[in-house]
Amino acid sequence: MRANPWFAGVFLLGASLRVLAVIGYQPALWFPDTYTYVVTAIRPRPDLVRPAGYSFFLRLLEPFHSFGLVVIVQHLLGLATAVLIYGAIRRKVLGVIAAAVVLLDAYQIQLEHLLVSDTLFLFLVVAATVLALRPPTWRKALGIGLLLGAATITRTVGLPLIVVFLVLYGWRARRLVGVFAVGALVPVVAYGAWFSSVHDRVGLVGANGAFLYVRVMPFADCSIMKPPADLAVLCDDRKVRPPAQDYVWDATSPLVRLPGETFTAENDALAQRFSMLAITRQPGDYLATAARDLVRAFEPGRPVYPNPEVYATYEFPEAIPAEPQTRDTLGVELARRYENGPISTQVIEPVAGWLRNYQSVLALPGPLLLLVLLVPVIAARRSDVLIPWAVAWALLVVPAATAVFDYRYVLPVAPLAFLAAALALSPAMSAKCK
């Protein structure tokens, strides 16, 4: 910061914005997923829908009984992510621009203030990526693997990232591939063994089939698929179909109407088979639907999607109901135990209003993200650019191909895209790193 006053200024501005968030929305902002994470933190048991990495993070901070402290730590992780990116680039101007994507984006700051896994996941992935840009050693290879393993048990989209690193980092450091693989597999296999011992199922979660069902239902046509009788119960003959997300949560969904809980092994396997049949019988429709969701990340103006309710969860709100808006009564009870008091969010004006105004003005435009993702294709001259670039694209493509588009899935992409673009435009960086 002493060497680059521009970075110091942007960093301090980013830190100030996070201080405003801590003051304006106390103690934190809640998300529907939050209650599941809290339940797993207080009563450790692998969840069928979400891996428990973020719950472990909550449990580490549980002795302090403060969700306010949790979001402060998350904001610190956001600042640390920006520092990692700036330090990896080394070019002052490019480094400041890339770091500013994390430091100043209003939606990034709001996400850090939400009690969800994304900030922790982003920090782990960026840390692994930056470490992979350094000259390889066995300690670094092991560290990269452990970071990606931790990211995978925080969000399962980390699993394909392990494959990306296995190929690209293995290309740069062939003799260290085994060390990297061990580091990545230790946390993943350990978590998988815990999950299997509790649920008698192989995997990290038990909802892969259900979310693939969400992916195919916008286009699945049973008159084309001609499913067998056991799969036909998952057909939907409504002419106007609901948003894709409803097919795993809404009571009108054929999957939700099946006997038993939605994510039983039998129901999930049925959804998996139905989804694979839809993809194989309607491959063009599947590719078109996935591509349409992928393009949403690059649309100008951030259109409301999938509905105003979900969209609003990623905005700093004007007012928040006094009572938690969830059907998870156990989650509310355990959250109050975690906080050792009430968990309702207080909106403190005028500070909260300043953040809302800021969010309405400063956020990364979708077309700019696409342009930045194309820079390495045009300007790259080194293999190390491929790692952050491929990770960024994987984080965009995998959710669109296997589940559904969500604006919060785009936020981890931007820092990695700008990192790749900055590296592509900095041919001297490799020598400086060495």
pLDDT for 434 equals 39
- Which stretch of DSSP H or E encloses residue 188? helix 177-199
At 73-111, the pLDDT tens digits run 999 999 999 999 999 987 778 999 999 999 999 999 999
pLDDT for 239 equals 85
- Round to whole Å and give the CA distance between 331 and 159: 27
b/e per residue, 185-222, with b = 16+ CB within 10 A? bebbeebbebbeeebebebbbbbbbbbbbbbbbbbbeb
- Round to whole Å and give the CA distance between 428 and 430: 6
pLDDT for 328 equals 79
pLDDT for 196 equals 96
Q: Which of 313, 321, 312 has its CA nearest to residue 347?
A: 321
Q: Which residues of the chain, if any, have pLDDT below 50?
A: 428-434
Residue linked to tokens 């990364």: 364
pLDDT for 382 equals 63
Residue linked to tokens 């953040």: 355
pLDDT for 383 equals 65
Residue linked to tokens 């190929």: 167
- Round to whole Å and give the CA distance between 233 and 230: 6
**Whole-structure pTM value:** 0.93
- Round to whole Å and give the CA distance between 87 and 3: 12
At 235-294, the pLDDT tens digits run 998 888 888 889 999 999 999 999 988 999 999 999 999 999 999 999 999 999 999 999
Question: What is 54-68 written as a DSSP string?
Answer: HHHHHHHHGGG--HH
pLDDT for 433 equals 42
